[in-house]
Chains A and B, each alone.
Chain A
Amino acid sequence: MSSEAPSFARRSHGWMGIKRGHRARPLEWIIEKGIQLVSYSAIVMVFLIFIFVSREAMPIFLGQMDSAAVRPALSVDEAMKLPKEDLRKYLDMTPDEFVKADAEVIKMLVDLRIESSANETTDKDAKLNTTQWSHLLGPYQWTGYTKPEYIWQPVGTIHKYNIVPLLVGSLKVSFVALAFALPLALGAAIYVSQLANPRTKEWLKPAIELLAGLPSVVLGFFAMIVMATFLQSVFGYATRLNAFLAGIALGLAVIPLVFTIAEDALSSVPRSYIQAALALGSSRWQAAYKIVLPAAIPGVFAAAVLGFGRALGETMIVLMTSSASILSWSVFDSARPITASIAAELAEAVFDGHHYRILFMLGTLLFAVTFSLNLIGDIVVHRLKRRLEGKA
C-alpha cells in the first residue's frame, strides 16, 4: 500500500484535512454534508437500476407467472359461489383492484375468462407453463417437432420462451466482434503509443477516437445498407443478415474502446524501461514487442474484457443487423442477441404479461453479466497502473 509514500503526498488530496478550524460555520457544515450526500448518487443509481429492472422480472425468478394457454374456466354461477379471496385469486386481481371492482366488473371478468377458454386449442402443449426454468433453459419436444429443441418463439398460442438461442446469439456475435476488433485495436495501440512519430500521433489518436463518436444507430444503418451487400458478395454466404455481419459492425463500435484502454496501458509503461532497452542495443520495435507489451499485458486483457462487455450490451447495431433466433454456432448463420430481443419485442409485448417479464429477466441477466465483466476489467487496470507506478 501507499505507506511508504511521504506523508506530504498523502495530504495532497486531503488538503481539506487541514483541520476545519475556527472558520468553519454551521451553514458550511450543512453544505458540506449536502455535497457528500449528492456524491453518493452514483451508488444509489447502480442499486436502483438493479432493483427496478429485477423487480419487473421477480415473478419469473420466483416462478409465479403462468403462461399456460388453457386456464381452467368456471361458469358464472360457480365463480360467484367462490369465497371472496378465492375469487380474487381466480381473477388474478390485486387486493386493491378487488376492493374497487363492483359486481358488474367481476361478472365481466368471469365472462371474459369463459370466452377466452372457448377458443381453446387442442395442442397438448397448451397446458404447459413455459415460464418455468426447465422450459427457459432446457430443450423440449414441442408439437410438430421431431426432437427436443431450444426454441424462442414468444408470440403465438403457445409461448416458447427458451432463452438459450438468445444467449448463444449474444456470445457468438460478441466473439466475432472481439476477434475482429482486438487485433486491429491492439495493433493500432502499439503503433500509436510506441512506433509512430509524435507528429503523426497527434492526429492519429483523435482520428481513431472519432470512431467512438459514430452513434451506434449510424453503424447499424451502415452495416445494414452498405456492409451487408459488400460482405455477402465477398464471402458469398447465403444468409444476408448474419452473426458475422453483426459482429463486424459491433467490432467497429468496440475498436475505439479497446484502443483507448490498450493505448493508455501501453503508454503508462515507464519510459525508463524503453530507455534501458534502447541503451542495451535493442531497436524500437524490439523494445515495444519484448518490453512494453509484456509489461502492459494485463491492460490488454482488461481491454478485451471491457470490449466484450460493451459488445454484449450494444443494442442498436445488433437490432438492425441480426435476425432469426436459431441455435447455431456457425457465424454465417443468423443470430439474435438478448439486447435485440428486448428492444424489438418489449414495445409489442402485453404490459405486465409473461413475455414482458421474461424480457426484463433477460435485462437483469445482462446487467449482472456486464457488471461482473466491468468489475474484473477495472480491477485489472487499477492493479496494473499501481504496479507500473511502483506503488504495489
Chain B
Amino acid sequence: MNKYMTKLAVIVALAFTSSCVQAAIIVVKGSDTMVILAQKWAETYMQKNADAKIQVAGGGSGVGFAALQQQTVDIANASRKIKSKEIETCIKTFGKRPTEYKVALDGLTVYVNSDNPIKELSLDQLSSIFTGKVKNWKEFGGPDAGISVYSRENSSGTYEFFKENVLKGQDLAANAQPMQGTAALLQSVAKDKNAIGYGGAAFGAGAKHIAIKKDDSSPAIEPTEETIVSGKYPIWRYLFVYVNPSLDKGQIAHYLNWIRSEEGQGVVKNVGYFPLPKNLRE
C-alpha cells in the first residue's frame, strides 16, 4: 500500500512541476460544429510540417471566445460572428481586436421526413412554419397533418444563424423542439412523418432535404456544393476562426494561410463543408 502511495505521490509531483513548462504548440478551441474540420486540418498540416504541433478541442463558440480572451488558446473556432461584448472584453484584456478569418462555407439544409411529398418551400413559407404561423402541411399542398417543428439548441451557432437569417429575428414557435445536435434532430425527423427541421449540410443521411426558393417567383435551389459556393442557395453561412493579432505570426500565421490555401480548402470539401470562393482566400 505504502509503495503505491509513494509512486502516486511521485506522479502527482511530476505532473505539478511539468505543468509549469509549456511546449510550443498551437492550441485551437471552439465551436463543436467545427471540431471535425479543425481536427482534419491539424492532421493534414502536421503530416506536411513535421515540426508543427496542433492541439484541437471542442466546447462551443462561446467557450472558444472566452479562452481567446483569457489567452489560453491561440485560435478560436466559431460558427457565428464574434459579438461586440466579446470584442470588448478582448480589447480590455489584450488591447487589440481579434482578427477574423473566414475559413469555410456551410449551407443550412432544411429536412423533412422522406414520406413527405413536399419538395420545395420559399423562405417566407419556412419563416411562417418555424414561427408557428402555419401549422398544417395542407397549406403547402401536403397531407392534412399538423407540422412538428424541430429546431436546434438555442445556444448553438446554427440556431442563431437560422433565427437571424431565415426568421429575420422573430422568435421560433413556442412548440418548436430544440435538439442537442444535428444528429438528434435528423433522427427525430426520420422517425416523425410530419417533421421539419434544419441543420448543417454536412449531415445528410436519414431524411430528405428540401429545395429552397428565395421568394415565390424565383426557382427552387437544391443545396449542392455548386449552388452554395456560388451563393445561389439562399441559406448559407461562413465559418470563422479568430486569432489574437499579436500572435498572428510565425507558425500560426503560416497555418492560418495554409487553411485558406487550395490544400486546406480541399480538406473542407472532404469533411462535408464547402470551400471559400476564390476571391475570399487572399
Asked if residues A105 and B95 are in contact (CB atoms below 8 Å), the reply is: yes
Interface centre among A344, A351, A352 (most CB of B within 10 A): A351
A333 at the interface (CB under 8 A from B): yes
A282 at the interface (CB under 8 A from B): no
Take A105-B92, A115-B84, A326-B175 as given contacts and tell me if A238 and B146 are in contact as well, using a CB distance cutoff of 8 Å. yes
A347 to B156, CA, bound (A): 10
Residues of A within 8 A of B148 (CB): 238-239
Q: Which residue of A lies closest to B184 (CB)?
A: A224
> Which of B61, B151, B171 interacts with A348 by CB under 8 Å?
B61
Take A153-B154, A155-B154 as given contacts and tell me if A323 and B91 are in contact as well, using a CB distance cutoff of 8 Å. no
- Chain B 157-185, CB-CB to A under 8 Å as 1, else 0, gives 10110011000011110111111100010
Asked if residues A151 and B171 are in contact (CB atoms below 8 Å), the reply is: yes
Residues of B within 8 A of A149 (CB): 174
A149 to B171, CA, bound (A): 12
Residues of B within 8 A of A324 (CB): 151, 174-178
Interface residues of B in 194-249 (CB under 8 A from A): none
A74 to chain B minimum Cβ distance, whole angstroms, is 15
Asked if residues B154 and A239 are in contact (CB atoms below 8 Å), the reply is: no
Residues of B within 8 A of A170 (CB): none
Take A155-B154, A155-B159, A351-B65 as given contacts and tell me if A108 and B97 are in contact as well, using a CB distance cutoff of 8 Å. yes
Residues of A within 8 A of B157 (CB): 348
B155 at the interface (CB under 8 A from A): yes
Asked if residues A109 and B92 are in contact (CB atoms below 8 Å), the reply is: yes
Take A153-B171, A157-B169, A351-B69 as given contacts and tell me if A109 and B88 are in contact as well, using a CB distance cutoff of 8 Å. yes
Residues of A within 8 A of B83 (CB): 350
Asked if residues A142 and B171 are in contact (CB atoms below 8 Å), the reply is: yes
Asked if residues B59 and A347 are in contact (CB atoms below 8 Å), the reply is: yes
Asked if residues B171 and A112 are in contact (CB atoms below 8 Å), the reply is: no
A238 to B59, CA, bound (A): 32
A92 at the interface (CB under 8 A from B): yes
A105 to B95, CA, bound (A): 6
A144 at the interface (CB under 8 A from B): yes
A157 to B84, CA, bound (A): 12
Interface residues of B in 55-107 (CB under 8 A from A): 59-63, 65-66, 69, 83-89, 91-92, 95-97
Q: State the interface size on chain A (CB cutoff 8 A).
A: 50
Which of A37-45, A78-86, A96-104 contacts its partner? A96-104
A155 to B188, CA, bound (A): 23
Interface residues of A, dominant DSSP: loop
> Which of A108, A109, A344 interacts with B153 by CB under 8 Å?
A344
Interface residues of B in 99-126 (CB under 8 A from A): none
Classify chain B's interface size.
35 or more
A347 to B64, CA, bound (A): 9
Interface residues of A in 110-125 (CB under 8 A from B): 112-113, 115-116, 121, 123
B138 at the interface (CB under 8 A from A): no
Asked if residues A351 and B174 are in contact (CB atoms below 8 Å), the reply is: no
Take A238-B146, A324-B174 as given contacts and tell me if A345 and B184 are in contact as well, using a CB distance cutoff of 8 Å. no
> Which of B155, B160, B170, B188 interacts with A240 by CB under 8 Å?
B188
Asked if residues A351 and B180 are in contact (CB atoms below 8 Å), the reply is: no
Q: Which 6 A-B pairs have the closest CB atoms?
A: A348-B155, A116-B84, A348-B62, A347-B60, A323-B177, A351-B66
B interface residues, Cβ below 8 angstroms from A: 59-63, 65-66, 69, 83-89, 91-92, 95-97, 131, 146, 148, 151, 153-157, 159-160, 163-164, 169-172, 174-180, 184, 188, 191-192
A interface residues, Cβ below 8 angstroms from B: 92-93, 97, 101-102, 104-105, 108-109, 112-113, 115-116, 121, 123, 142, 144, 149, 151, 153-158, 160, 224, 229, 238-241, 319-320, 323-324, 326-327, 333-334, 336, 344-345, 347-353
**Extra pairs beyond A105-B95, A155-B154, A156-B169 (13, CB < 8 Å):** A93-B92, A112-B87, A144-B131, A154-B154, A240-B191, A324-B174, A345-B153, A347-B155, A348-B155, A348-B156, A350-B62, A351-B86, A352-B89
